[in-house]
Amino acid sequence: MSDYTAPLADLDFQLRAVGGLDHVLSLPAFAGIDADTVRQILEEGGRFAGEVLAPLNRAGDLTPAKLENGAVRTSPGFADAYRQFAAAGWNAVPFEAEHGGQGLPWLVQTALAELWNAANLAFALCPLLNNGAIEAIAAHGSPEQKRLYLPKMVAGEWTGTMNLTEPQAGSDLGQVRTRAVPEGDHYRIIGQKIFITYGEHDYTPNIIHLVLARLPDAPAGTRGISLFVVPKVLVTPDGSLGQRNDLRCVSLEHKLGIHGSPTCVMAFGDDGGAIGFLVGEANRGLEYMFTMMNNARLAVGLQGVAIAERAYQRARAFARQRVQSRDVAGSAGPVAIIRHPDVRRMLMTMKAGTEAARGLTLQAAAWIDGARHAPDADDRKRVQALLDLIIPVVKAWATDFGVEAASIGIQVHGGMGFIEESGAAQYYRDARILPIYEGTNGIQANDLVGRKVARDQGETARVFLQLVQDTIDELDLLTDEDFVAMRGALADGHSALAQATEWIVRTFPEDPRRAIAGAVPYLKLFGLVAGGWVMVRNATAAAAHLELGEGDGKFLSAKKTTARFFAEHMLVQASSLLWPATQPAATLALAEDQF
């Protein structure tokens, strides 16, 4: 029996209240798709996640993928589940019909991806990386590359990876040493890559690797990196499989969590060089890879939401069942621990943070659809700027919260949470990678400050701040005490974020090191305000439904209460972050030998 239930009610609500589903479906690209169809898709996705993927989650943790005689054998049941996943069409949801896709909004894909990741994070990493590879080839590949690879990848018959880092490079991709030697109409790829998720597996007969490498005459640093398609099995012009390419998995990493996901060390060219094909123009590989990385960063932020939801569901179930100690208000005997105020505080923190992070992720997904499909070019440009601004916030803030929620989940369990058999510890171990990969959260904060705020002198950040201010202004008309509390917290957070943003705009051009020293607290401040903005919109939408007598009154009243909790217990922390975001002197004061 599954211990995961898809949060369809909240997804359905937030798709409309925050994601603007009706507006997205009104875009010409999505003609013929209606909200009822989306609801049915999510219901079926919830069933698949709960019945097929979630029961394998524990098995993947206990029985990791193994490397045997050069082949990777995935965890029990994973390969069969993947084949069911592909056969059901889940891989094809957001992609263009010309490549076999279903052409649904990225907003819908994001809601579905939460279900896959919450049910089984280790499993969901494979389609996550495949989606990113599809995006990169679709955006930058040649017509021939699109013809050969995209239909199979969209159908899930083949999967894709990204091969970026190397042992000496880490996140500094300018240090990449993998070589690409020209040979006729292709290149010989020689080098080693580490941390390659699903670099080898037994799901599909072919894996399409996207590999960063250097040409012989490439300039140093990031300006000299090119992108190559390097198939595990070479593909003939008619699309059939040819000979095995010169690449292999040489070892699997032994990890803290996500054991069911094979993380590979990949060797290219041990026997003369793997055959690869240049994507786009030479020396623009990092630029092209960012198409994939931005996709992945949003998806990783969503993983933070997913693991928080899974940890919350387990903690809530335990709190309802675990009987211990008398109620502080008096009781004849011990009560379920959900009666105890501190346990309720922990559960409310998990619930409120998860809903806020979910809403912000859905907002980002809606901006993807707007940036790609809005009829007006100026609207597309404006929405793309907002999307670029919010991506590092979603990735970092949501994954930090995912770790926090998983940790709180262990605390709700008490001593049983520290015991592996309870299952709570797995979520914490799985979650801990999320603030690290696809660019550590410190890198996300640097990106937010240096590239997204300072580069355009705060112009896009001010557009976002105006969106928040518009919501605050709407609250001026509401006298309900819940909304009075929300307005005060959101207004204070908005003020702090506006002040910190202007400080960055002034400081970064003259002293970027000072501005970057406060980048992480600035991002957290941004995330809390953005999360508060989402929760207020949820609450106002819920209040409107309640006033009209529509919907589930119990669910809607809970939306208001949860939003108020977020405002009074989490959003209020935003103002305290103004000082560490803008006063970095002590951070930079010590000499290296004083640490």
Residue numbers annotated as active site: 438
Q: Residue 494: which residues within 8 A CB-CB, separation 6 or more?
A: 465, 468, 469, 472, 529
Strands (E), 214-355: 226-231, 233-235, 241-244, 247-252, 263-268, 274-278, 323-326, 334-336
Specify the length of the chain in residues: 595
Of 137, 163, 165, which is closest to residue 280 (Cα–Cα)? 137
Residue 280's SS3 state is coil
Q: What is the largest CA-CA distance in the chain?
A: 84
Q: What would the two tokens of residue 90 be?
A: 């889940």
For tokens 């501190």, name the residue. Answer: 342
d(CA 316, CA 354): 13
d(CA 365, CA 363): 5
- CB contact at 8 A, 255 and 240: no
Residue 576's SS3 state is helix
Backbone angles phi, psi at 248, to 5 degrees: -160, 155
Q: What would the two tokens of residue 368 be?
A: 């993807």
Q: What would the two tokens of residue 434 be?
A: 């999320």
Give 104-124 as a DSSP string. Answer: --HHHHHHHHHHHHHH-HHHH
d(CA 343, CA 470): 35
d(CA 113, CA 46): 10
d(CA 550, CA 537): 17
Give 399-453 as a DSSP string. Answer: HHHHHHHHHHHHHHHGGGGGSGGGSHHHHHHHHTTTTTSSS-HHHHHHIIIIIII
Pairing of strands 159-163, 207-213: parallel
- CB contact at 8 A, 205 and 158: yes
d(CA 33, CA 276): 39
Residue 181's SS3 state is strand
d(CA 104, CA 102): 6
Residue 321 parent element (H or E): helix 285-321
d(CA 533, CA 465): 10
Backbone angles phi, psi at 400, to 5 degrees: -60, -40
Residue type, 171: S
Give the 3-state DSSP-derived string for 153-215, with helices as H, strands as E and coil as C. Answer: HHHCCCEEEEECCCCCCCCCHHHCCCEEEEECCEEEEEEEEEEEECCCCCCCCCEEEEEEEEC
- CB contact at 8 A, 201 and 65: yes
Of 567, 394, 416, 552, which is closest to residue 464 (Cα–Cα)? 394
